[in-house]
Structure 1
Amino acid sequence: MEKDSPSMKQCRSAFSRFYDLLSEWMFLARVAPLSTSHLFERHAMCSSDASMEGKTVIITGATSGIGLETAKELARRKARVILACRNVEKAKEVAQQISDETNQPVVVKKLVLDSLESVKEFCDEINESEERLDVLINNAGLINSSEEFTYTKDGFEACFQINHLSPVLLTLLLLDKLRKSAPSRIVNVSSDSHTIGDVSQLEAKARGKCTLRTPFAPYANSKLAMCLYTVALADKVKDTGVTVNSLHPGLVQTPIASHGSFIRRVLFHLLSHTKGKTPLQGAQTTIQVSVDPALETTTGEFFEECAPAAKRYRNPLLEDRALAEEVFGTSLRLVGFDPDRLLGTQS
């Protein structure tokens, strides 16, 4: 096979840059209306004052933003909070800060979500050392910082693994502990971007293929996958005392919205800092779903503003049980989890 000439390589490179730019603008045209649709609505606050005394909560990605505010509030309610974080030193500083403010001990455990092996090690430690687990909050999230995708050592596109596959494995490996602590809750922090996600050819997308080369596309795809997985898992554990729900925290002033192209950074900065939420406001729906006694049996729901979201803010695909089951099965296969083991946890 003949090698491309320098001029041909330049032509291919120019076309690739043009395609990436066009894709970014097309995607922004879909994202902008989505981001502005909630701007003039109220910022609901958690209406429950329920205590969490005697309960153990794990929160991923809790050293900043929504996760940090969630951890603070649950510690104030006397929960035993475990921060599951990549940067242990930073997490220890945060834990001390929370302890100083709430007079509650906060535990730090290392969890690297771009490594399935780290997820397994974390779960082994939790299952061995913790007597109970009442709430698991999958809060950590990632948006690609450029059109150049990064990949994990497991062979997956990093955003998709951190936002979906690793939380899937984390949840499944802790499910026995949650079931034995029932009534217990799994809370998946998602996004309204799930409404523009695409889960066709899911395995290819998980590996960074068959998807738009824009930073936001894998994020939206991963959030839709997690919402569909939530629906399927809720059906499978509905008789075990474990509930599973997902939520949109709102357009929040957090670092996760500061990545990508200059155009997108400016758009999100303007929207989030003019009409968006503070991290404390953004944490309210997570807190509501985690603590409200009235939601003890509510499962398979998608929440927004501390209540089940209106249909116009949900992807209609969330009603497709067959698709949810397909996403569930593919996700388990990709993380190497035997479905029979899931059934065994319900015996």
Structure 2
Amino acid sequence: METWILLRSLWEMKEIFCQKFQTYYLPPPSHLLPNNLSGLSVIVTGATSGIGLQTAQELAKAGAHVIMACRNTKAANKIACQWKEEAHNSRILNVEVMELDLLSLSSVRRFAIAWEQRAEALHILINNAGIFLMGESQKFSDEGFEQHIHVNHIAPALLTLLLLPSLLRAPMSRIINVNSVAHHCAVVESKYWNSRIEERKFSSFKAYGASKLAHLMFLKTLANKLLEQRKTSIQCLAVHPGVVNTNLVPAFQKKSFWMFDPAEGARSVLFCATSADVVAHLVRGFAYYSCYCKPARMSPRAADMDACMEVWQKTMEILKLDVDYLSNMYDNLN
């Protein structure tokens, strides 16, 4: 099985070295957006750097109400002020900052409560923030979870579930999970989410890939469950933005010619968040897109709905949420 996964992973990941050439035809991020996004509210996690920063800025410039959900609120406020100053001769940017630390489930709950108290519609949720502790040993959050799975899957899953009522208030809304081609290299072993494995057997790359695979499988299950409850207005998309020169990339790789800059990495995220074209490719409310702004292949493990359901159940168990959470939520909304 390990050999099969390795061979498939190498086949899928070969394209990252050609990503610059194969996406030469894509326009700049701003040209991928509708002319006016006023009236839309968008939450972007991890919006102080990299893809998240570029995504938030382009959406704000297009007129959306952008909420920068960040751990470092001081840096976020400084960035938001700079954007507003730069745009003073054009439209007034509607940007605000809210504190969100994905290493703390308590912080996620506080954020969701603060947002839900507004009783406003949320049109787009972009789960962008993530970590990749390349080459480092196992690290666990204060709540006892391996940090990759905590930040890249468990915390965004909780945030998404808690914001569903707000997403349902919009006539049409989208959940965008920024994923990675690294999910092809992984298997999900939930027993290791909150338990230590032998140090010599731990791989930060495998842990990162597994967190992204779980992230993908959970979202696909959520899309199915939303449809089972009733005809839903929420569309669920996962997107691989390419290999991007961000703070997740080790310093020795920063100047690799084949890597995207953050603006190039934001293209596929912005496309999935706003383009009407993605609707044609949704299957039971879900689709997976590549950095080419086109539908792409997922790992066969993400196509296994029994395995996806196991990820869902384990996640709900960890979050201490009832298995009937969605039906109860719908009942409370009526």
TM-score w.r.t. length of structure 2: 0.85
Give the equivalent residue in structure 1 for 2:314.
330
Matched to 2:136, the amino acid is: E
**CA deviation after TM superposition for structure 1 residue 320, in Å:** 1.0
Matched to 2:322, the amino acid is: D
The 3 A distance-change label for structure 1 pair 139 and 346 is same
SS state at 1:288 partner: helix
**CA deviation after TM superposition for structure 1 residue 317, in Å:** 1.6
Is it true that 1:319 corresponds to 2:303 in the alignment? Answer: yes
2:267 to 274, 284, 309: 284
Show structure 2 runs of 5+ residues with no match: 1-5
Answer whether contact 1:91 1:108 (CA < 8 A) is retained.
yes
Over the matched positions of the two proteins, sequence identity in percent amounts to 31
Q: Partners of 2:202 and 2:136 in 1: how far apart?
A: 6
**CA deviation after TM superposition for structure 1 residue 39, in Å:** 5.1
Answer whether contact 1:50 1:291 (CA < 8 A) is retained.
no
1:28-107 to structure 2, matched below 5 A, reads: 33=14, 35-36=16-17, 38=19, 40-43=21-24, 44-45=26-27, 47-102=32-87, 103-107=92-96
Matched to 2:64, the amino acid is: A
Give the equivalent residue in structure 2 for 1:203.
191
Number of residue pairs the alignment of both structures matches: 309
Matched to 2:313, the amino acid is: G
Q: Partners of 2:279 and 2:319 in 1: how far apart?
A: 29
**CA deviation after TM superposition for structure 1 residue 100, in Å:** 2.5
TM-score w.r.t. length of structure 1: 0.82
Q: Partners of 2:237 and 2:195 in 1: how far apart?
A: 26
Answer whether contact 2:23 2:292 (CA < 8 A) is retained.
no
The 3 A distance-change label for structure 1 pair 319 and 32 is closer
Answer whether contact 1:140 1:163 (CA < 8 A) is retained.
yes
Is it true that 1:250 corresponds to 2:238 in the alignment? Answer: no
1:206-285 to structure 2, matched below 5 A, reads: 206-209=194-197, 212-238=201-227, 239-258=231-250, 266=252, 268-269=253-254, 273-285=256-268
1:56-205 to structure 2, matched below 5 A, reads: 56-102=41-87, 103-199=92-188, 201-205=189-193
Give the equivalent residue in structure 1 for 2:277.
294
Matched to 1:326, the amino acid is: E
**CA deviation after TM superposition for structure 1 residue 255, in Å:** 1.0
User: What whole-Å deviation, never above 9, does each CA across 1:16-55 have from its counterpart, x for those lacking one?
Assistant: xxxxxxxxxx99x959746436454225346442521101
Cα RMSD over matched residues?
2.4
SS state at 2:110 partner: helix
User: What whole-Å deviation, never above 9, does each CA across 1:149-208 have from its counterpart, x for those lacking one?
Assistant: 221111001121000000000000001110122310100001000101111x31323544
Q: Partners of 1:146 and 1:186 in 2: how far apart?
A: 31
Answer whether contact 1:205 1:218 (CA < 8 A) is retained.
no
Answer whether contact 1:284 1:305 (CA < 8 A) is retained.
yes
Structure number, greater radius of gyration? 1
Show structure 1 runs of 5+ residues with no match: 1-25, 259-264
Q: Partners of 2:44 and 2:196 in 1: how far apart?
A: 27
